A and B are shown apart, each in its own frame.
Chain A
Amino acid sequence: MTEELIIAGFGGQGVLSMGKILAYSGIMQDQEVSWMPSYGPEMRGGTANVTVIVSDERVSSPVLNEFDSAIILNQQSMDKFEEQVKPGGVLLYDPNGIINPPTRKDINIYTIEGSKLSREMGNTKTFNMIVFGAYLKIKPVVKLENVVLGLKKSLNERYHHLIPLNEDAIKMGQENVVSILEL
């Protein structure tokens, strides 16, 4: 199994930390991982993206131009990465702020109302974990118990009391993912 994923959105949405939690979760189940962030001018312009690879084998290139899955959280990233999803791959996005939805017919497309649901949960910081939950529902590359272990590893201990909230957010995402196009 090899999963090549791009997560792309605005800085502050938790894009990089979502990737880090996935990478840590992969380590918890003894897989090979890589996490490669954008750190260049696009980051300074407000957008952020990270390429995460989780694999049973040694990871070759940490930098890719085609992906098994894409999690898209703003229009700029949709414009850039929709075409980089491999045919038959997965595109998951939050419709909030997306003016031009994806048009491809050769990929599986899903939505998750992450922004709306995080407001309903009363804590907008749960946004990235809701989206992550939706992704895990579509692509269960890591087990939930390993995600919890991954959270423990990637979060500072003083935030460990928030882990149950993160678990709730993941479940919220798993329950609310909407299928737009399934091949």
Chain B
Amino acid sequence: MAEVKLMKGNEAFAEAAIRVGADAYFGYPITPQSEVIEYLMTAQPHLTTGMVVLQAESEVAAINMVYGAAGAGKKVLTSSSSPGISLKLEGISYMAGAELPAVILNVVRGGPGLGTIQPSQADYFQAVKGGGHGDYKMLVLAPSSVQEMADFVEDAFDAAFKYRNPVMILSDGVIGQMMEKVIFKEQKDRWTEKELIEINGSWATTGKTPDRERNVITSLDLDSHKMELHNHKLQAKYKQMEEEEVRYEEFMCDDADYIMVAYGSSARIAQKTLNKARAKGIKVGLLRPITLFPYPTKVIHKYTERGVKGFLSVEMSAGQMVEDVRLAVNGKAKVEHFGRNGGIIPSPTEVLDALENQIIK
């Protein structure tokens, strides 16, 4: 049986990146995710799997290195925390436009601006609604445990290459910094040059051969008609994601009169609240969206059809995901937000008070 390790979320992400057979990581340190690059530098995977690990001169440089490697069909990752992700957004929009696969981890800290180094979930809009310019979407996975920080690396790469699109893992300072048990999968080999050409040769810049046209990686087309068609193609991919990639976890939702909706570390806090509320005889459930885009809209809508009386969105923000809950509920039940800002983590009892005072009363 695989060995059980005790690790920080950031370290688990880094180890999983090596094990999944990634070709490269480009990053720049920032609290609370610096353990990612520290772990990779210590592990020196260039000596074992051949994976390149490079500290770039800035976040902007790192994301453009990711663009280059992804354009060559490589499995490539980067990671940062909120202010650093803001710097990467131009590159992310370009990658969405040029249809490049990559995995981007955001270990969110409080903002705006340099904000604080403490945990936050205030980058929901940035991750889910675009962030960079243009009509693009990323598939967004929200881990709520150290095990998921590891497991989602492979899931993210699978989706990134399936859709040729950047995939974001939206974590936060709690999940990045905490240690929990984690079990890793076996080490996978990196793609050989031959395998890479077989898998990605139809689009990647793997070196032109006489039997095919040039593969061009660009997000630019000055012909608006062509650009509109390209946009339609992108939108069709996002639509397919909405149909095929929705993931969520339910806790005691079947008989619930009220439902809390929370992702990432807030979902862990809400689990504790759920236990406390159930002990008081309150019939409350918890829906944990695992994908934030695509969002489990239909699942929430079904609860309203079943007669759920109220929803509490719990997030470490001023109220961002609550908008998606409201859209799904569509006026059929009460929807409220509870959150703390600026790096303060809500306590399970605070969330219970909010449930009782904002929803049940």
- Partner-B contacts on A (CB < 8 A): 20, 23-24, 27, 32-37, 39-41, 59-66, 153-154
Query: In the complex, A61 Cα to B347 Cα: how many Å?
Result: 9
Residues of A within 8 A of B6 (CB): 20, 23-24, 27, 33, 35, 153-154
Query: In the complex, A65 Cα to B348 Cα: how many Å?
Result: 8
Residues of B within 8 A of A23 (CB): 6, 179
Inter-subunit contact B181/A39 (CB<8 Å):
no
Inter-subunit contact B343/A40 (CB<8 Å):
yes
Residues of A within 8 A of B271 (CB): 60-61
Identify which of B180, B343, B350 contacts A34 (C-beta below 8 A): B180
Output the residue of A35, A62, A65 with the most chain B CB within 10 A. A62
Query: In the complex, A64 Cα to B173 Cα: how many Å?
Result: 15
B52 to chain A, nearest CB (A): 27
Residues of A within 8 A of B265 (CB): 62-63
Residue of A whose beta carbon sits closest to that of B350: A65
Inter-subunit contact A20/B343 (CB<8 Å):
no
19 contacts between A and B (CB under 8 A): A23-B179, A34-B178, A35-B6, A35-B178, A39-B117, A39-B173, A40-B116, A40-B118, A40-B343, A59-B268, A60-B275, A60-B348, A61-B269, A63-B269, A63-B345, A64-B272, A64-B347, A65-B347, A66-B349
B174 interface hit (Cβ, 8 Å): yes
- Partner-A contacts on B (CB < 8 A): 4, 6, 31-32, 116-118, 173-174, 177-181, 265, 268-269, 271-272, 274-275, 343, 345, 347-350
Q: With A41-B117, A65-B348 given, name 10 new contacts (CB 8 A).
A: A23-B6, A27-B4, A33-B180, A33-B181, A34-B180, A36-B174, A36-B178, A60-B348, A62-B174, A63-B345
9 closest A-B pairs by beta carbon, nearest first, are A60-B271, A65-B347, A61-B272, A35-B179, A60-B272, A36-B178, A61-B269, A40-B118, A63-B345
Inter-subunit contact B181/A32 (CB<8 Å):
yes
Identify which of B4, B31, B116, B348 contacts A64 (C-beta below 8 A): B348
B5 to chain A, nearest CB (A): 9
A43 to chain B, nearest CB (A): 10
Query: In the complex, A64 Cα to B348 Cα: how many Å?
Result: 7
Residue of B whose beta carbon sits closest to that of A32: B181
Contact A39/B272 with A34-B180, A63-B345, A65-B349 known, Cβ cut-off 8 Å: no
Query: In the complex, A23 Cα to B32 Cα: how many Å?
Result: 21
B342 to chain A, nearest CB (A): 11
B350 to chain A, nearest CB (A): 8
Inter-subunit contact A39/B4 (CB<8 Å):
no
Residue of A whose beta carbon sits closest to that of B4: A27
Residues of A within 8 A of B117 (CB): 39-41
Identify which of A20, A39, A65 contacts B32 (C-beta below 8 A): A39
B75 to chain A, nearest CB (A): 30
Residues of A within 8 A of B116 (CB): 40-41
Residues of A within 8 A of B268 (CB): 59-63
Query: In the complex, A41 Cα to B31 Cα: how many Å?
Result: 12
A86 to chain B, nearest CB (A): 11
Residue of B whose beta carbon sits closest to that of A153: B6
Residue of B whose beta carbon sits closest to that of A66: B349
Residue of B whose beta carbon sits closest to that of A58: B271
Residue of B whose beta carbon sits closest to that of A51: B178
Residues of A within 8 A of B32 (CB): 39
